[in-house]
Structure 1
Amino acid sequence: MDNHKQRTPIGEIPSDWEVVTTKEIFKNKTLKNYPNEPVLSVTQEYGVIYRDTIDRRISMDKSNTKNFKLVEQGNFIISLRSFQGGIESSSIQGLVSPAYTVLKVEGEDIEENFYRYYFKYPRFISYMGSAVIGIRDGKQISYKVFSELFIPKPPYNEQQKIASILSSVDEAIEKTEQIIEQTTKVKKGLMQQLLTKGIGHTKFQKTSIGEIPEEWRIEELQNITDVRDGTHDSPKYMDDGIPLITSKNLKPNGIDFSNVNYISTQDHAQIEKRSGVEEGDILFGMIGTIGNPVVVKKEFDFSIKNVALVKFDREKQVISNYFIYYLLQSSLVLSQLSKGTNGGVQKFIALGTIRKLMIPTPSKEEQEEIVKILFSVDEKINVEKYRFQKLEILKKSLMQQLLTGKVRVPIEEDEVMQT
């Protein structure tokens, strides 16, 4: 395998790779008058999908779709009118509007999946973006301009190897996503069961929040915890200082400090007098983003604004903070909150509503058992999320190395003979 490099318009690539224009591989395909095919949507998040995901059809008469373009499996699609970066490949057949260009691969020495990944490579997206023309309602790129863009053409067997490696990572990512989704469903079912039926109970009582074990009591949240909120003032923001946490910073995995405003130590000290946050407290979004409870792991000081603060009596230990944490995620509590949510575009929940939440209270021992079960499920979800993040990083690294030929994939001699 040749490990020498050559300088090209698209950067340094192996000397045994070709540089070609896109029109040498991708031909503009315009097949029309297929009115009975389903209509497709092209999205950055989900790729190419059926516009109507329920029955995979959309009711359109013949006149509406006669100018739509037929997309077959393996075709590539690019939006000419609202270019946002990258090109989508289709694994399904259907129609797209005339606002899209449909590209068909021509040539026996082309591995479509190689270019499916290459068109998602950030360097190509940036290169393609430089050819985009700005217009009033967005940006566009003509097929003529697109057809003159340069792309690499590795040997066919190497295209196949690169696509195979990246596909295997994609498969691992997809399996991990499925595990996270399934485990999250299991957690939801467990929460519903454990937070309303408990563990090992046979006798139940009817209450204002539904059926719960006879041994359990119902309390307002304010009677078993100290419920406060953050500052109502608008302190002056600074370039540096103490982070000011609002509802937008509460995420499923904890507090997001990457997008915060900062306040002075003096303003922080004033806020602390009213709503000082301690390790083990729970924060709960009240405005805009409602919910997303977070158990505080305090590594440094911060203040809160438009956030509910649930504090616990460390000496009496009447209620477990993690038991409340799980309850605040449950349908039992969310149904109560939905009745007290106000506002139009900017939703908010009053502190009084949070204080009056009706909370089922098992014995402390049973609370701990329930938390232990749910915590173990959370740990599994977090392990899979960490694996997902590592796989995403691996894929990004592999794309950068393999799609540019910076790292060559080994090709067996018999594979070379076949090409």
Structure 2
Amino acid sequence: MLNTFQQADHPALPKATADEAARQEFTKSFKGFIQSTLLPGLTPIYQTRVARKFEKDHGRAPADRRDIRSGMVGDIYFQHYAAANRIAQELLWESVNGSVDRQLPELIAQAKALSASTKAQLVIPEGFTPPRYVTALDIHCMPGGYCSEVCEDDVSVGALYDRGVYLYSMGYTGPNNDDMGRSVVNYIKRHMPDFKPRRILDMGCTVGHSTLPYKELFPEAEVWGIDVGGPCVRYAHARAAGFGLEVNYAQMSAEETTFPDAHFDLVVSHILLHETSGKAMPKIFAEAHRVLAPGGLMIHADLPPFDLMDPFTQFILDNETWYNNEPFWGAMRDMDQIALAEKAGFNRADVKFDTAPMAVMEFAAAAEGYSQEASEAVAEREFTAGEFAPGGGWEVLIARKPLAQKIAA
């Protein structure tokens, strides 16, 4: 499907000059070329060259993604693909960084004004220390990561992320970058129409892309987004106000929040888990269980575990681990998340994986002038966009907190 979307403007978004916009559009198109033209070439290269050589050298066929990688890294076609992908990633951030730096004073002033216009809370505690797994490197090559601050009241990495992630996804997260939240919201509407949470927590919200659809679906609910990046939640608070939505934001770790026990009816996250660590992930599950009210839902939306894929697809996706500063990307997919949820206090019978179809199909249908009924039908179709959201949906881990916990003897 040809993606013709453009990012929707809003009051907090950096405004690009004509030259900056052209550079940004080039980086998006370059990523599209890599995904549509170079990526498909990896399959025949593997089948006709690499797999045969591996079997000749080892006396057996490649057994898993690690075997496949050991063969592919020496092939010149793969080297060309991997280098182009990394260069495209660095270029897209650089194309936005200049725009953000040029107008940072104006962006900060605008964010302050927007935040002052809403009654929603913004909590930035003094002395907060982000976890090292977030600050030790620039995740997905984004300069400064999520937490770097260059001045007082800084929003720069938030603004950088808002525009940059749209280019990274080549527009497939929709005009407001909110496909993951909207996809989960649609899943709730279709499968749990009577579920009406009073309080909602979005863990690892970055700039609130996926937080806002929950406020739209449940306008009476108290909604909180938390993230370890101060500039991100400052920007998120202003961004929500720019959309006319009252959503509370706080700089806080999903491993240990300051909310009371049993405070929320719904706890969600969107592409948070693969950016944590093996020690942090169990703590996040336990914290979600603690702050959930009995009968409440925990929903983590990410990409599918590796055991649901063939080894070659695993190898393709694991390139993010090796070449895009995502060190926990592959390890997270190997973890037994259902067992982690059970250990955190959820009953195994109340934990499952499911797929939330990408809501971006609704944007596509609307763009083509379809009726609402046709839009919903198109949204159910399987959709593939290269490495981004393969298979047409987000994998969601869903767990319901028991109404009554068993008391140990």
TM, length-normalised to structure 1: 0.23
Structure 1 or 2: more strand by fraction: 1
Look at both structures and tell me which one has the larger radius of gyration over its CA atoms.
Answer: 1
